[in-house]
Amino acid sequence: MTAHSTVPPEAAQVRAATAVEFRNVDIVFGHQRARAFPMIDAGASRDTILAATGCVLGAANVNLTIGRGEICVLMGLSGSGKSTILRAVNRLNTVARGEVFVHHDGTLIDVARCEARMLRDIRMRTVSMVFQQFGLLPWRTVRENVGFGLELRGTPTAERNRLVDEKLAMVGLSQWADKYAHELSGGMQQRVGLARAFATDADILLMDEPFSALDPLIRDKLQDELLDLQQRIQKTIVFVSHDLDEALKIGNTIAIMEGGRIVQAGTAEDILLRPADAYVAEFVKHMNPLNVLRGNAVMTPASALRRDDGAILLGRDGQVRVVIDGEGRPVSVSLNGREGRLVAADPDSGAVAPAADLIVAPLDLKLKAAIALKCQTDHPILLVDKLGRLAGLCDDEEIYRGLLRRGS
């Protein structure tokens, strides 16, 4: 292994889609770490380790892979270890055991062991951080704050100004460029922090409870703005939150932590429908599934539907026939021998044309939208993949199953 600790080329190729990977990571604060390691391996609690060694367990045996372009939310109560492992990604926290790989210049680098020069390069170009308390320099204008990282990097003034203007426009703050932090609202200050992170064009953004200090309406608005921006910039975002609604809203994957350990990692649907233990079940029991579940989590798959001579039969009597073409796409429907209207729902609004007999909707249709569509038809909703192929159906039974949080 080289001085900056890369993975072997063949392993790097296999994991090319990986942005960040924690491998058996322990983080321990204190002078008796060697005494704490056997206790960590035995599964001892944080309190037990503290009493026996005087060491504080920050994280224990953390294994987590975060894909490139993904939003991964580290979720848990205060003191669960969320921020501790986030700060291991740019080595603001030191790893006692294990490896933290970051995708940098086409290679996975172990930031826990790499040399100082490599770490500086990763911090300057690959990993950027957005802090909870904004971290703005009060003596600098908005423009100067956003360009601070570029200034440290030595970016020429003209190029720096171009990038700053571009990022300020992205977050809707162009007209505030010459103002100071104290002249901005909390939400606007947080947008400056986002623009500063975006300006460096880092592939990986670390966001440590960035919206928690804001009131609920502003927080909800910034969550929406972050998701809109992510559609355009496709960064890898590691996001710390203690707000379950926030985590389930923005996260492609969620890692729930307790006592420094990850107790479950997966999609929102996985965690809501299949909690790993009583702690996770208690954590999510008050969550409204309508805001989380999508059609693919509750649907009856196409493979389980009745078929007859190239058609799918729906309803108890099978009088609704959906003709499927050779590629698996629904192309027409008949109801009791009468030709019906097969209408696609608008992918953005979910609206359909009047008098639709059978509605076709995207596979990732939210359950909340499915209920709205069901008000317009007496028949199941056909769910299709991105190529228009039938994936399954969502009817009253599937919706009830989702509301009751039982797997299909």
Q: Is the pLDDT of residue 20 over 90?
A: yes
Q: What is the pLDDT of residue 242?
A: 84
For the 9-126+202-287 domain, the top CATH level (class) is alpha beta
Q: What is the pLDDT of residue 233?
A: 79
Higher pLDDT, 218 or 92: 92
Q: Is the pLDDT of residue 12 over 80?
A: no
Percent of the chain with pLDDT over 90: 26
Q: What is the pLDDT of residue 196?
A: 80
Percent of the chain with pLDDT over 70: 90
pLDDT digits (tens, 9 = 90+) for 351-382: 555 666 778 888 888 888 888 888 777 788 88
Token pair for residue 400?
Answer: 């009830």
Confidence of residue 406 (pLDDT cuts 50, 70, 90): very low
- How many Å apart are CA 298 and CA 379, to the nearest integer? 16
Q: Is the pLDDT of residue 244 over 90?
A: no
Residue written as tokens 């206790």?
A: 39
The rounded Cα 369 to chain-centroid distance in angstroms is 21
Please report, to the nearest 10 degrees, the dihedral formed by the alpha carbons of residues 103, 109, 110, 112 taken in order. Answer: -90
Q: What is the pLDDT of residue 133?
A: 60
Q: What is the pLDDT of residue 345?
A: 79
pLDDT digits (tens, 9 = 90+) for 315-358: 777 678 888 888 888 888 888 878 878 778 765 555 555 666 77
Q: What is the pLDDT of residue 337?
A: 79
Q: What is the pLDDT of residue 13?
A: 45
Instruction: Annotate the chain with three-state secondary structure.
Output: CCCCCECCHHHHHHCCCEEEEEEEEEEEECCCHHHHHHHHHCCCCHHHHHHHHCCEEEEEEEEEEEECCCEEEEEECCCCCHHHHHCCCCCCCCCCEEEEEEEECCEEEECCCCCHHHHHHHHHHCEEEECCCCCCCCCCEHHHHHCHHHHHHCCCHHHHHHHHHHHHHHCCCHHHCCCEHHHCCHHHHHHHHHHHHHHCCCCEEEEECCCCCCCHHHHHHHHHHHHHHHHHHCCEEEEEECCHHHHHHHCCEEEEEECCEEEEEECHHHHHHCCCCHHHHHHHCCCCHHHCCEHHHHCEEHHHCEEECCEEEECCCCCEEEEECCCCCEEEEEECCEECCEEECCCCCCCCCCCCCEEEEECCCEHHHHHHHHCCCCCCEEEECCCCCEEEEECHHHHHHHHCCCCC
Q: What is the pLDDT of residue 254?
A: 93
Which of 237, 276, 260 has the alpha carbon at shortest distance from 62? 260
**Cβ–Cβ under 8 Å, residues 142 and 176:** yes
pLDDT digits (tens, 9 = 90+) for 37-62: 999 999 999 999 999 999 999 999 99
Confidence of residue 407 (pLDDT cuts 50, 70, 90): very low
Q: Is the pLDDT of residue 137 over 80?
A: no
Does the domain made of 295-403 have the CATH classification 3.10.580.10? yes
**Cβ–Cβ under 8 Å, residues 63 and 23:** yes
Please give the average per-residue pLDDT across 126-143, as a whole number.
78
Please give the average per-residue pLDDT across 95-116, as a whole number.
93
Higher pLDDT, 334 or 289: 334
Pairing of strands 56-67, 236-241: unpaired
Confidence of residue 307 (pLDDT cuts 50, 70, 90): confident
Mean pLDDT of the chain: 83
- How many Å apart are CA 80 and CA 123, to the nearest integer? 25
Token pair for residue 199?
Answer: 């300006």
Q: Is the pLDDT of residue 4 over 50?
A: no
Stated pTM of the model: 0.76
Confidence of residue 264 (pLDDT cuts 50, 70, 90): very high
Q: What is the pLDDT of residue 1?
A: 37
**Cβ–Cβ under 8 Å, residues 265 and 70:** no
Token pair for residue 250?
Answer: 């923005």
Q: What is the pLDDT of residue 138?
A: 81
Token pair for residue 121?
Answer: 């390069």
Q: What is the pLDDT of residue 88?
A: 95
Higher pLDDT, 255 or 306: 255
Q: Is the pLDDT of residue 215 over 80?
A: no
Token pair for residue 256?
Answer: 């729930």
Query: Where are the domains positioned within the chain?
Result: 9-126+202-287, 295-403
